[in-house]
């Protein structure tokens, strides 16, 4: 190993001189160079091209270099004692002290600032190009504490400064880390790839003996070690909790979705062996804080269930000319003008959520959120946390900051609880309290949180029978069924079947740039089927027939083929009068509700037709 494989890049001449003295004393023979900020990326790349396998830099420069090269970059660390010594010197100059960076040690320093009787102005770590503007606007500061790069910039702005310099032993330690890495690299096959930096995944690479070869920044932060100090240790020395890493080496197989607890944190990790020419080269370990995993899962689930917390459909987009549907739409419009809870009943596929969205959009809450969740789609524990949220530390794996629930997200708007008949009795009791008290309590919390929401619930279950069976609370039933809305199934409003089918067909024509149309025989075939899947099934049928039909004309054969395939899903059709090929509903539907045409289809007079209608309505 040639020592020139290690290059130290300093941000100013003082730092370069200090590093050169350390290298000379160590007889390490490392290259030491100076670079300004603007040329830093190119200088770093040039060193790598010239053979440098490890770079060493101070503070912010190390972060910039890491973004531009794919070799390890060791940051020379400052100790808390060094920063404290700089603050003591600054306190002799003035009482209002600005301090730049040093995030790793500031936590301890801030604890004793009162003992120093100083006022600390903490300037967050930023990119170097931002510092001149920050220093220019820095007001009422007596002195600034910074490193090699910050101090000259502050002096240019007329700010008194104290330079915090890394100790010689810290520079020497960085050189030793670099040497240890290079020695380890020589012992590992070329199949082990350089470690990629990531802000999401912590990552460690070990060789086939379990010794750490590489560790990215996030892994070092999680484990509380210096990024390349760990190359002198084995995986068992640094994090013995990752037990499956040794198993992965021994069994030459991957172990995914494993759980490990390190102090107060829980991690999800994967151990995956790496091979070259079927020979085991080592194991790559990636891991994440479980809080991040749970947060991502909750975010995905919320996006899937809430539909961006916006209602898409209005009542005038729900079409139907049958008397039953017309009455339901009128009732829904009336319900939209008041605040009481609505219970929507109906079979699967009749469009219960469309009505919920329409009521919301016609209400005074239309500018508020519309939050929808299917209560049958999640396990009880997850459903409860989704609805009510939780405080930080409420349970193992909970987000450190806690989480708002859907009731809070629906504040000032409407929450739609679909399939409410599927929730447990325990959760029913908690929902009842929300309706009674207009407030929620997060899981693990004690303080009530007021919520201004309107609840619309829906189910295809017989809640009255469930109340009798003891599987649904009677008090909750009466709370949610203040305003009831029953949507009739498609078989009870045959006048709407052809109307809806032609709307779906029109949509298909636009998508496929083809002018599809149903023949009269196809319409008749649709009317003879009872559509157990309701509107959703009708829409799916239209999509299918437009795909399999060779022409724009959709005839009875393709509709009848669909009906024959699915006929077993529905009860037998009622017998019709052998003399009349159509029922009253079918004739009206085919005639577009034209009474004269419907009478002709039925082979009766208009007077007889009206008598038939009267008997139906009575």
Tokens at residue 78, please? 């400052």
What local confidence, expressed as pLDDT, does residue 281 receive?
77
User: How many angstroms separate the CA atoms of 168 and 180, rounded?
Assistant: 18
pLDDT at 209: 76
* Dihedral sign for Cα atoms in the order 34, 37, 43, 45: positive
Q: Packing angle between helix 495-512 and helix 520-527, nearest 10 degrees?
A: 130
Calpha distance 558→552 (Å, rounded): 12
CA distances from 259 to 203, 268, 298 (A): 15, 5, 19
The tokens describing 28, both together, are 């390490």
Stated length of the chain: 618
Decide if pLDDT at 181 tops 70: no
Structure tokens of 576? 């019709």
Share of the chain above pLDDT 90, in %: 27
81 pLDDT above the threshold of 70: yes
pLDDT in tens, 540-562: 999 999 988 888 999 999 888 88
Tell me 194's DSSP state.
Answer: P
Compute φ and ψ for 128, nearest 5 degrees: -55, -35
Which stretch of DSSP H or E encloses residue 43? helix 40-49
User: Measured on CA atoms in the order 81, 85, 88, 94, is the torsion positive or negative?
Assistant: negative
Task: Answer whether residue 361 shows pLDDT above 60.
Answer: yes
- List CB contacts of 82: < 8 A, sequence separation 6 or more: 164, 165, 166, 167
- Give residues with Cβ within 8 angstroms of 125, minimum separation 6: 60, 100, 101, 103
Nearest to 386, CA basis, from 395, 376, 394, 378: 378
CB 434 within 8 A of CB 426: no
More confident residue, 353 or 213: 353
The predicted structure's pLDDT at residue 235: 85
For the residues 596-607, what does the mean pLDDT come to? 75
pLDDT band at 297 (very low <50, low <70, confident <90, very high): low
First and final C-alpha spacing in the chain: 99
Among 121-125, 243-247, 261-265, the minimum mean pLDDT is found in: 121-125
Which SS3 state, helix, strand or coil, does residue 281 take?
strand
Q: What is the mean pLDDT of residues 3-25?
A: 84
Q: Between 37 and 5, where is the model more confident?
A: 5
- Residue 79: is its pLDDT beyond 90? no
Q: Which residue has the higher pLDDT, 217 or 271?
A: 271
Q: Which pLDDT score is estimated for 16?
A: 86
- Helix/strand/coil for 600: helix
pLDDT tens digits for 443-482? 888 888 889 999 999 999 999 889 988 999 999 999 999 9
pLDDT confidence of residue 62: 77
How many other CB atoms are found less than 10 A from the CB of residue 321? Answer: 14
Most confidently modeled of 16-30, 192-206, 397-411, 467-481? 467-481
Q: Distance (Å, rounded) from C-alpha 260 to C-alpha 417? A: 36
Q: Quick one: pLDDT at residue 194?
A: 46
Residues 6+ apart with CB under 8 A from 180: 228, 231, 232
- Is it the case that residue 569 has pLDDT exceeding 70? no
Q: Are the C-beta atoms of 281 and 314 separated by less than 8 Å?
A: no
CA distance 346 to 535: 12
Rounded Cα–Cα distance for residues 342 and 358 (Å): 12
Count of Cβ atoms closer than 10 Å to residue 374 Cβ:
17
For 329, half-sphere exposure in the C-beta direction (CA atoms, 13 angstrom radius) is 13
Mean pLDDT over the full length of the chain: 82
Higher pLDDT, 178 or 44: 44
pLDDT(26) > 90: no
**91, two tokens:** 């306190």
Q: Which residue has the higher pLDDT, 545 or 74?
A: 545
Which residue's structure tokens are 């032993």? 169
pLDDT for the residue 436 = 92
Residues 120 and 124: their CA atoms lie apart, in Å, by 12
Least confident of 105-119, 278-292, 333-347: 105-119
Instruction: Compute the average pLDDT of residues 185-198.
Output: 50
Residue of 28 and 526 predicted with greater confidence:
526
- The mean per-residue pLDDT over the stretch 342-359 comes to 93
Which pLDDT band holds residue 582 (cuts at 50, 70, 90)?
Answer: low
Residues 517, 546: Cα–Cα separation, whole Å:
10
Q: Taking a C-beta distance cutoff of 8 angstroms, is the pair 362, 329 a contact?
A: no
The whole-angstrom separation of Cα 277 and Cα 44 is 34
Query: Rounded to 5 degrees, what angle do the CA atoms 124, 127, 130 make?
Result: 85
Within the chain, how many helices (H) and strands (E) appear?
27, 24
Token pair, residue 539, equals 């829409």
435 contacts: CB under 8 Å, gap ≥ 6 = 341, 455, 476, 479, 480
pTM over 0.95: no
**pLDDT classification of 191: cutoffs 50, 70, 90:** very low
pLDDT of residue 358: 95
Half-sphere exposure of 244 (CA within 13 A, CB side): 18
Report the pLDDT averaged over residues 282-310: 70
Contact of 438 with 412, CB cutoff 8 Å = no
What is the predicted pLDDT for the residue at 572?
Answer: 47
- Enumerate residues 6+ apart whose C-beta is below 8 A from 298: 386, 403
Question: What are phi and psi for residue 158, nearest 5 degrees?
Answer: 80, 20
8 SS3 class = strand
Q: Render pLDDT for 236-249 as a digit per residue (tens, 0 to 9).
A: 878 889 999 999 99
């Amino acid at each position: 190993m040639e020592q020139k494989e290690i290059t130290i890049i300093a941000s100013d001449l003082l730092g370069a001189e200090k590093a050169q003295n350390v290298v000379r004393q160590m007889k390490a023979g490392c290259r030491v160079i100076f670079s300004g900020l603007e040329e830093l990326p190119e200088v770093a790349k040039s060193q790598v091209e010239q053979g440098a396998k490890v770079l060493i830099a101070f503070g912010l420069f190390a972060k910039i270099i890491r973004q531009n090269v794919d070799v390890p970059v060791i940051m020379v660390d400052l100790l808390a004692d060094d920063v404290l010594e700089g603050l003591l010197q600054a306190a002799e100059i003035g009482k209002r002290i600005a301090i730049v960076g040093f995030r790793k040690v500031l936590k301890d320093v801030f604890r004793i600032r009162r003992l120093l009787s100083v006022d600390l102005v903490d300037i967050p770590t930023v990119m170097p190009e931002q510092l001149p503007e920050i220093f220019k606007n820095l007001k009422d500061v007596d002195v600034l504490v910074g490193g090699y790069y910050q101090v000259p910039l502050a002096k240019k702005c007329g700010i008194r400064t104290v330079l915090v310099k890394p100790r010689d032993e810290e520079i020497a330690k960085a050189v030793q880390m670099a040497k240890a890495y290079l020695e380890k690299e020589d012992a590992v096959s070329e199949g082990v790839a350089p470690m990629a930096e990531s802000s999401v995944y912590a990552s460690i690479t070990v060789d086939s003996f379990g010794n750490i070869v590489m560790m990215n920044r996030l892994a070092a932060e999680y484990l509380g070690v210096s990024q390349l100090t760990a190359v002198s240790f084995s995986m068992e020395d640094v994090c013995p909790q990752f037990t499956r890493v040794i198993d992965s080496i021994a069994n030459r197989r991957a172990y995914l979705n494993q759980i490990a607890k390190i102090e107060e944190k829980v991690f999800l990790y994967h151990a995956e062996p790496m091979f070259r020419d079927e020979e085991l080269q080592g194991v790559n370990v990636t891991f994440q804080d479980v809080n991040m995993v749970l947060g991502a899962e909750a975010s995905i689930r919320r996006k899937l269930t809430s539909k961006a917390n916006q209602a898409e459909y209005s009542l005038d987009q729900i079409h139907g000319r049958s008397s039953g549907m017309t009455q339901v739409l009128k009732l829904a419009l009336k319900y939209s003008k008041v605040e009481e809870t609505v219970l929507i009943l109906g079979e699967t596929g009749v469009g219960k959520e469309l009505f919920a969205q329409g009521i919301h959009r016609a209400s005074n809450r239309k500018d508020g959120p519309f939050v929808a969740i299917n209560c049958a789609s999640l396990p009880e524990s997850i459903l409860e946390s989704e609805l009510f949220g939780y405080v930080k530390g409420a349970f193992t794996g909970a987000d450190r900051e806690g989480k708002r629930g859907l009731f809070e997200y629906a504040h000032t708007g409407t929450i739609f609880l679909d399939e409410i008949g599927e929730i447990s009795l325990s959760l029913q009791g908690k929902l009842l309290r929300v309706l009674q008290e207009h407030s929620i309590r997060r899981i693990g919390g004690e303080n009530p949180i007021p919520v201004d929401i309107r609840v619309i619930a829906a189910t295809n279950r017989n809640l009255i029978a469930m109340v009798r069976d003891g599987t649904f609370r009677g008090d909750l039933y009466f709370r949610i069924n203040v305003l009831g809305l029953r949507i009739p199934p498609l078989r009870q409003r045959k006048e709407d079947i052809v109307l809806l089918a032609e709307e779906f067909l029109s949509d298909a024509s636009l998508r496929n740039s083809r002018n599809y149309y149903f023949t009269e025989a196809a319409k008749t075939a649709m009317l003879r089927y009872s559509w157990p899947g309701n509107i959703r099934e009708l829409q799916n049928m239209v999509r299918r027939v437009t795909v399999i039909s060779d022409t724009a004309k959709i005839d009875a054969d393709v509709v009848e083929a669909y009906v024959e395939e699915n006929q077993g899903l529905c009860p037998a059709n009622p017998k019709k009068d052998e003399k009349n090929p159509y029922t009253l509903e079918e004739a009206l539907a085919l005639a577009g509700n034209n009474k004269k045409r419907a009478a002709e289809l039925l082979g009766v007079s208009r007077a007889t037709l009206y008598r038939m209608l009267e008997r139906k309505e009575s």
